[in-house]
Structure 1
Amino acid sequence: MSEPGGEVQAALAAFAGELKRLRQLCGAPSLNTLVAVSTSLRVPLARSTLSDKLNAKSLPEWPFVAAFVQACLAHAERAGIRVPAELAELSWWDAAHWRLLRIADAGHSEDRLRVAAHTQLARRAGGGEASGHRVAPSDQVTPRHLPAAVPGFVGRGAALAGLAAVLAHRHASPGSVPVAVISGTAGVGKTALAVHWAHRVADRFPDGQLYVNLRGFDAGGPVPEPAEVLREFLEALGVSASRIPAGLAGRSGLFRSLLADRQVLVVLDNAGTAEQVRPLLPNSPGCLVVVTSRSHLPGLVTIEAAQPFVLEPLSGVEAYDLLCGRLGPDRVAGERDAAGRIVAAAAGLPLALAIVAGRAAARPGLSLGRLADELAEPGRLDGFAGGDASVDLRAVFSWSYRGLDRASARAFRLLGLHPGPEVSVPALASLAGVPVAGAERTLTALVGANLVAEQRPGRFVLHDLLRAYAAEQVAGRDPDQVRRAALGRLLDHYLHTAYAAAALLYDQRDPLDLAAVRAGAVVTGLADRAEAWRWLVREHRVLLALVALAARAGFDTHAWQLAWTVNTYLDRIGAWQEQLVVQEAALAAAARVGDRDGQARAHRNRAVACLRREDHEQTSFHLHQSLGLYAELDDAVGAARVHLNLGILAERQGRLREALDQARRALELFTVAGNTNGRANALNNIGWYHSQLGDFPQAIEHCQQALALQQQVGNRYWQAHTWDSLGYVHFRLGRQAEAIRCYENALALWREAAERYYEATTLTHLGDSHSAAGAPEPARVAWRRAGEILDQLGHADAEQVRVRLRSVPVRSG
């Protein structure tokens, strides 16, 4: 039985230990250095206070913790030191501090500790400091995602009044969120209304505004899955990529949790179905959701009690006012008849009127009569024609298109080949085969002509109707060889840049022989791992769409090589369903061109995704297919990697002797091939399987050999595996202090690599060691975090962790 206050003192010591660990990971700055850095950050720390808190002499206050963490991170940044993602987030420290205060308040601690804890809890609960899992206002991320409002907005009085009524009743139903659905035909101004109103009421939502184009009626580009939209929303709310759940349910749950006590306006533009919207709805009455769609979305109206607003075309007076607002009343009044014909031809569609006005504004000498005459020309965008034969959006788009210079017109057409949803400057430069500077000038021209919008800095989007128009134009005006050359350059840009990003992030992967970059394609230079990660995150949806596009267009080698290139990235972030989809496309593409190496890699990658999802039958099938292909290729290294995977599968199925045999076979093949990295990996697996069989001396011997080789070649990812293996052996031998040290080494490396599944595995092992050492609270902390990660990944191992948590009772005060 522990002494009174022992658990509190242990928790306080553990928290101080975490602070000291952060300091060590940030380059071990001296106390004087921390004082100086904190002063420069305007969160000054006293040297005596630092010594007191780091030695666990008293409970740290939250302002001290926040200032200490910021000072350490600032020192690490100046020294160029990468800190594990979790420890770099104030939200993580905030949650840990809350746990410490609750333990001190509830435990049998000294009076001074209980009084201090109770006082801090009361102050934090009252809002004096950050509470729950939220950080202080200065650290909280407040997204401001609304696109720019259209100038000269007119009309929509009834809809604006209705939206105001929805806002007024925002808090009427606890546990639900008010939803408004704005529907109407293409080009009727749904987005313009939603964004205009959102800007008017933005101050009523102090926690920010989120916006996404769901592309529900985009015939040519990919429709973003709700899980991907949630990933972007969570990142915008300050959740790091490595901590975002893998599945839709986990992401949706985290999104609702983050918004539970916030006031955020969410604009979901261009929704296709109610199913696309539902996972994106918060459940806080302080929030409000505006949905736009060409469909009435009756499911949302019926089940979620959404308030519908159906937009009709502008009246003649409103359309005339729109033209006056864009062109000036004098110019419109000077050609009143021509303005009337333009209004009539546009049939009240604000998009059509805006494009006409944009062209007229760009050319003050162009008469409105000339524009009105052009509206009478026959249209060709049949899929988007209105009920009146005199209105055809194709003709409307053609007015702006014909006003472009030759280079801009060609670039606009080629954008019809891009799958979307966003286009970067280097991507357009590659499509057009022009320098980046030329692509920037072209995009400026296209934005000026209202044919492209700059959604975010350096990221451009086409309205779905304009994308359809561009695709039709490129198909009708540019020969097949021109289109294929442009698409080839585009694929080269993404493949070679993605390969460079993967090489920076995962430098121990086997190399891939890429074809030379075509003339005119731009490969984006990436300076470091952080920039490589940001590029992959930004282009995530585009890369997935390009794998499918490459396969459809007959660029099969690009398809399987791009799928292979992004495989580790998808695996590490837990996007296993997407991993399965792209590897299926890769397998078919490699088979079509008879590339056995591509097929072998795709089979193995698909097997890894199946293994993550506990589909052992499919894992075995794809691994044996891969092994057969590597045998035909006489590729010892490829075969050895498959044997390692077969060993992991055998272990998961309880066949440890077979797992050991597979790892030994892999070691033989790696040794013959002279592959040091592979040898180290195989030695670690052999050591691990020996530990599972109870042969601890052999386990330690093989793991130590593995660690020495991994440190020799700088393979930090596999060092983490080996530290975990060594930790387990010491755990089984009863050497808990040494086991904990090994597990903490592994955790630091897992977090550096953003490897969430194995982080959870090591946390589980760490909890086991703390429990065996008689430290139940650190054990609970480790198991709880492991369970959270596994739940986010949707992994079955989460239940085993919950069993551990239930086995250790929580002590009460």
Structure 2
Amino acid sequence: MLEFRLLGPVELHRDGAGVHLGPPKRRTVLAMLLLADHALVTTDRLAEALWHEQPPKHAKTTIQGHISHLRRLLHPTGDATIVTAGDGYLLRTPADRIDARRFQAAVLETRLGHSTPASTVPALRQALALWHGPALAGLCTTPLIASLAAELEEARLNAVEVLGQALTTEHLAEEAVFLLRGPANRNPLRESLVAPLLDALLATDRQAEAIELYHRTARLLADELGVNPGPAMARAYARILAAPDAAPHTAAPVESPGPATDVLRPLLLPRSPAGFTGRERELAVLDDAVKPTRDAPLCLVTGPAGVGKSALVAHWAQHAATAFPDGVLFARLGGFAGTVPAADPASVLRDFLVALGTRPDDVPQNTATAESLYRALLRYRRVLVLLDDALSYDQVRPLLPGATGCATVVTSRNRLESLVAADCARPLLLDRLGPRQGAALLTGVLGSDRVDAEPGAVGCLVRLCDGLPLALRLTGARLAMRPERSLREAAEELYDERQRIALLAVDDVDLASVLRASVAHLPPAAADLLGLLAHHFGPDTDLGAVAALTAATPADARAALERLLAANLLEERAHGRYALHDLVRLFARTLGPVPGPERVLPLLDHYLCGALAASAVAVAGSQPCCRLPENAHPPAVTPVFTDRAEAMAWYARERQSLVAAVATATSAGHHHRAWRLAVLLWPLVVQQPEAEWEAPLGHALASAAELADADAESRVRTLLGWVLGEKGRLEEAARHLELAPDLARRAGDSEGEAIATANLAQVHERLGRVARAGQGYERAALLARDAGSPQTEMLTTYYLARHHLLNGRPSQALALARHGLGLAPEEQVPARRAMLTDLCGQALVALSRHGEAWEHFHRAGRLAEQDGFAADAAEYYARAAETRTPGRA
């Protein structure tokens, strides 16, 4: 049974298990069909959802491809069908299979006349339980999708409001407070949320909190909208004031519950950093984060070591302090000081209490009592609390004021996700400086004359320093003390990876010590992984590769990755890719010995198995071009591909790692893996022949020669010859391709001999050797037939038919192409069927049979779309458009 989910990430479940839907555009098409509620959705409406106002030229073709994929996903159960109607589509499925429809039905039921609070509570509890995140998450970010998501979110808030009021009526006010507080904090101007929350707070004996919430909301309404609270809030406020033991109507300072003296106005500002520049966006985020629009605003500034977190907050605090009339509290927690232990929160708490006016002898010895006194002193005050260089959530938690009027800013190299989850901290991830900001920082150290004189060298320095302000300041300091040196010379020194880390040091300040302090707090598994990733041959990696590299389970590998991410020592990119920045990578290489050749074997096998799986899907029905080596160990996580698009996307993501893996395998003496990895790149090579493939194929050829393996050498030379031919280097291509057929024959590989012979014939044809080309194509077709490989025979027959067509023999070309189409069942190898069908169309055009040609071009386009060859499909459709048929405009 199918279940569609729109109330959160858009998902499809079959019999309780998730079904992979593919890219965001495909999920967007599905969501649009589901939201239409059995109504027609035009292709123009779908294009608006996918691209807004700038759909590509072949938008309809792309939409048709996504519809085809969705139909295949829905087909097995028959619970849902997509119907083509006019210029659009509609999806038919029972309403109870869509969570948004079930939610809407439950909400509608509670609005009927016979509904009571007692029946509303369970109904809306179940309805809201259907939500599992922001509506329509993971779709295209177009205005239409944003509008549809906003409509669903509005319905959700309406349901929360109704349920909150019903809970209070049913004497479940504590649950109502829990339900309403978060949405009310996120929507502080929404009176329909605040009013039931006021009633719930009153019902739980929190009159003071309710009065404070009312006045805060009233101030916001006046400041932001220029209006007074509406009737619902006014009535709720009247009920609060009429209640027994209501709190005072206005907040006023109160006596401390402990033995403190008069509360002082502390001003413990950090030293303003000299030469601070840039960061305008981040400063604006900090300003916004501490606005009193929510309870106890809290901002977490996090980022890698040396990125300038402390400097940013110290600079910002100089002007931000004026918004906090009751003072500023600042503590350097020393979480990553390296040479001294991190600060004890109890000690910092004592300093804060003294700064607030408590006599030192009267500070409570019990930490919990000291926390209570600290929060009592701040309850009705506006104080800014700055906590710099925090190590953990436990170090920060006792120092949070918790008072509505106070704001807290925390800096940490760790992400402190508990602070976000438990205390609603707003995270500000501080990134490295870009070229312009980095140049501005160097200008502040060196002056504009030196920086402006060498703009190219400045860009190199910023890049070699990873955009880290600390590294740039250290480089600037070395240059400032050496006025005779050019910036280009400094860049050339840093370019040498062996000495770059050592050069980033001035006196007792050096980047290595700063990074060492971060690594010191890692658990052993994460520290080991950091060292291994530093020697990984690719630019980035994924979970499967990490599991192979560490010989760990996927769960353990993920835990180690998460720890490195939390410490900002690792960057997570799109598609679950992980990468080290250059300076971290170079430092991490110093943490242990270089892994030996055997350590890389599991990782090579990981890429080998992935490439084998991807190549099998790249052309449906094709045979694998090699097998795993006898001593290979399949990894714990091997990619699984459902269609060609997924396989090619994997190739694109892993391209650089696969190319580097070939070179690594050859240099490490793992020759059996090197040549296999290279030839398994063929689907990507065919798609991107213009790319630089000579280097990996050259490594593979060296490995094949080392093994004296005729099969390996024939395959590598065949692929290398084809690449060189596509680049127009025909004589070089011929030298490889003339050797390949005989090598394949010696290896007993008739199919490989056929492909090599066909590739050689193509080179002959492009060199003008028409007769030799024709003989080669004929021989290749015979070899493929003798090999008993219909797929290869289809390919060689296509080449032979094309040769006849190019040489003015359309009738022979048409007959051969039709023969090729009959070599395999219709459901197999759609891409090659598309090529042959297109060739039939070209031959029919040459024979002036335009009506038949038009049909063949359209059929070829549909076949190419079916197999994920969008560019080829567009070319076939273009040929159809150029073909004029009798009776057709």
State the shift of 1:621 in Å.
Answer: 1.7
Cα pair distance change 1:536/1:69, threshold 3 Å: closer
Q: Contact 1:194–1:292 at 8 Å: present in 2 too?
A: no
When residues 308 and 534 of structure 1 are mapped into structure 2, their CA distance, relative to the original with a 3 A threshold, is: closer
Q: Equivalent of 1:159, from 245, 261, 277? A: 277
Distance 1:195-1:72 versus aligned 2 partners, 3 A rule? farther
1:442 and 2:560 matched: yes
Which position in structure 1 is the counterpart of 2:711? 597
Instruction: Kindly report which structure 2 residues correspond to 1:174-253, keeping only aligned pairs within 5 A, or say none.
Output: 189=307
CA distance in 1, matches of 2:60, 2:438: 43
2: CA distance between counterparts of 1:683 and 1:583? 27
Amino acid at match of 1:543: L
Matching of residue 658 in structure 1 with residue 758 in structure 2 = no
Q: Which residue of 2 aligns with 1:415?
A: 533
Distance in 1 (CA, whole Å) between partners of 2:723 and 2:449 is 37
Q: Which residue of 2 aligns with 1:536?
A: 651
Could you tell me how far apart the structure 1 residues matched to 2:817 and 2:655 are?
A: 36
Residues 502, 735 of structure 1: CA spacing in aligned structure 2 closer, same or farther, 3 A cutoff?
A: same
Question: Are the equivalent residues in 2 in contact too, given 1:414–1:486 (CA < 8 A)?
Answer: no
Mapped partners of 2:578, 2:794: distance in 1: 46
Listed one character per residue, the Cα deviations across residues 110-132 of structure 1 (whole Å, up to 9, x for unaligned) are xxxxxxxxxxxxxxxxxxxxxxx
C-alpha spacing 1:712/1:697, structure 2 compared with 1 (3 Å): same
Could you say which residue in structure 2 is the equivalent of 1:552? 667
2:267 aligns with none
Does the residue aligned with 2:680 lie in a helix, a strand or coil? helix
Q: 1:583 Cα deviation (Å)?
A: 1.7
Q: Matched residues in 2 for 1:621 and 1:196: separation?
A: 67
SS in 2 for 1:434: coil
Question: What is the rounded CA distance, in whole Å, between the counterparts of 2:32 and 2:500 in structure 1?
Answer: 64
Aligned mate of 1:685, from 799, 805, 809: 799
CA distance in 2, matches of 1:390, 1:303: 29
Q: Deviations over 1:660-690 (max 9, x none)?
A: 2212111221222222222222333333323
Aligned pair 1:632/2:624, yes or no? no
Q: Please, which of 68, 71, 76 is the counterpart of residue 79 of structure 1? A: 71
Cα deviation code 1:718-765 (max 9, x no counterpart)? 112211221111111101111121122223334455557756764675
Tell me the residue number matched to 2:841: 727
Secondary structure of residue in 1 paired with 2:791: helix
TM-aligned CA deviation for residue 290 of structure 1: 6.3
Per-residue Cα deviation, 1:42-95 (whole angstroms, up to 9, x for no partner): 499679x99xx9xxxxxxx999x999999967754542279xxxxxxxxxx9xx
TM-score of the two chains, using structure 1 as the length reference: 0.52
State the alpha-carbon separation in 1 of the partners of residues 656 and 837 from structure 2. 35
Tell me: CA distance 1:62–1:662, structure 2 relative to 1, closer, same or farther (3 Å). closer
Matched, 1:607 2:607: no
What is the rounded CA distance, in whole Å, between the counterparts of 2:433 and 2:709 in structure 1? 41
Q: In structure 2, the residue corresponding to 1:577 is in which secondary structure?
A: coil
* Amino acid across the alignment from 1:670: A
Q: How far, CA to CA, are the matches of 2:703 and 2:309 in structure 1?
A: 39
The 1:491/1:764 distance shift into structure 2, 3 A limit, reads same
* Amino acid in structure 2 at the alignment position of 1:547: V
Task: Give the AA of the match of 1:739.
Answer: A
Change (3 A) 1:621 1:302: farther
Residues 657 and 764 of structure 1, relative CA distance in 2, 3 Å threshold: farther
How do 1:667-682 and structure 2 match up within 5 A? 667-682=781-796
Q: 1:494 aligns with which of 599, 603, 607?
A: 607
Q: 1:749 to 1:192 in 2, by over 3 A?
A: farther
Aligned counterparts of 1:194 and 1:626: Cα–Cα separation in 2:
63
Superposed displacement of residue 493, structure 1: 0.8
| Partner of residue 793, structure 1 | none
Q: Which amino acid aligns with 2:764?
A: A
CA contact (8 A) 1:656 1:692 kept: no
Q: Deviations over 1:151-180 (max 9, x none)?
A: x99847652289999xxxxxxxxxxxxxxx
CA spacing shift, 1:303–1:453, aligned 2, 3 Å:
closer
Instruction: Report what 2:593 is aligned to.
Output: 475
Query: Which structure shows the bigger proportion of residues in helix conformation?
Result: 1
Q: Unmatched 5+ residue regions in structure 1?
A: 1-34, 54-60, 83-92, 94-133, 141-151, 166-185, 198-266, 272-276, 278-288, 312-318, 323-342, 351-379, 779-813
Counterpart contact for 2:306–2:514, Cα < 8 Å? no
Contact 1:567 1:579 in 2 (8 A): no
Displacement after TM superposition at 1:587 (Å): 1.7
TM-fit CA distance, 1:575: 4.9
Aligned length: 502
Partners of 2:837 and 2:860 within 8 A in 1: yes
- Any idea what the Cα deviations from partners look like across 1:219-252, whole Å, max 9, x if unmatched? xxxxxxxxxxxxxxxxxxxxxxxxxxxxxxxxxx
Contact 2:276–2:311, Cα closer than 8 Å, also in 1? no
Pairwise CA distance, 1:438: 0.6
Partner of 1:472, secondary structure, is coil
Contact 1:44 1:67 in 2 (8 A): no
Aligned to 2:701: 587
Larger-Rg structure? 2
Partner of 1:114: none
Q: Give the Cα separation in 2 of the matches to 1:553 and 1:195.
A: 48
What residue identity is the alignment partner of 1:41? L
Q: State the 1:509 CA deviation.
A: 4.5
Evaluate the alpha carbon distance shift between residue 471 and residue 532 of structure 1 in structure 2; reply closer, same or farther with a 3 A threshold.
same
CA RMSD of aligned residues (A): 5.3
Letter in 1 for 2:599: A
User: Is structure 2 residue 38 aligned with structure 1 residue 41?
Assistant: no
How far residue 193 of structure 1 moved from its aligned partner, in angstroms, is 9.5
CA offsets per residue over residues 611-669 of structure 1, 9 Å max, x none?
A: 22222222212211222322332422211111211222233344443332212111221
Residues 257-306 of structure 1 deviation map (CA, whole Å, 9 limit, x = unaligned): xxxxxxxxxx99789xxxxx9xxxxxxxxxxx767799999999689999
Q: 1:762 to 1:517 in 2, by over 3 A?
A: farther
CA distance in 1, matches of 2:452, 2:499: 32
Matched, 1:717 2:831: yes
Shift of 1:503: 1.0
Q: 1:419 is aligned with what amino acid?
A: F
After TM superposition, list the pairs within 5 Å mapping 1:133-144 onto structure 2: 137-138=143-144
SS in 1 for 2:572: strand
If asked which structure has higher relative contact order (CA below 8 Å, sep 6+), I would say: 1
Contact residue 666 and residue 674 of structure 2 kept, 8 A: yes
Partners of 1:677 and 1:472 lie apart in 2 by 52
Give 1:489 shift. 0.8
CA distance in 2, matches of 1:568, 1:711: 23
Deviating more after overlay: 403-412 vs 757-766: 757-766
The structure-2 alpha-carbon separation of the partners of 1:722 and 1:295, relative to structure 1 and needing over 3 Å to count, comes to farther
- CA distance in 1 between counterparts of 2:311 and 2:779 reads 65
Give distance in 2, aligned partners of 1:587 and 1:67.
42
- The amino acid that maps onto 1:490 is L
TM-superposed deviation, 1:702: 1.8
Unpaired segments ≥5 residues, structure 2:
1-28, 46-52, 75-86, 88-139, 147-269, 284-303, 316-429, 463-467, 476-497
Q: How does 1:197-346 map to 2 (within 5 A)?
A: none
1:506 aligned to which of 619, 632, 646: 619
Amino acid at match of 2:658: L
Residue-by-residue CA offset, 1:489-516 (whole Å, 9 max, x unaligned): 1111111112112212224154312125
Instruction: Work out which of the residue numbers 647, 668, 682 in structure 2 matches 1:567.
Output: 682
**Aligned-partner Cα distance in 2 for 1:36–1:761:** 27
Whether contact under 8 Å (1:38, 1:70) holds in the other structure is no
Q: Distance in 2 between matches of 1:584 and 1:472?
A: 31
Post-superposition offset of 1:36: 13
Instruction: Report the CA distance shift for 1:608/1:67 in structure 2 as closer, same or farther (over 3 A).
Output: closer
Partner SS for 2:615: helix
Q: Please tell me the residue identity of whatever aligns with 2:72.
A: G
Distance 1:577 1:74 in 2: 29
Q: What secondary structure does 1:722 align onto?
A: helix
1:431 maps to 549
Aligned twin of 2:266: none
Render the CA deviation track for 1:422-479: whole Å, top value 9, x for unaligned: 2212211111101000111112222334432334473322232221232233326xxx
Q: Aligned pair in 2 of structure 1 residues 390, 728: CA closer, same or farther (>3 Å)?
A: same
| Counterpart position of 1:484 | 597
Matched, 1:522 2:640: no
Equivalent residue number for residue 706 of structure 1: 820
Deviation per residue, 1:758-788 (Å, 9 max, x gap): 5676467546534x8798xx9xxxxxxxxxx
Whole-Å Cα distance in 1 between the matches of residues 307 and 760 of structure 2? 57
Q: Which residue number corresponds to residue 171 of structure 1?
A: none
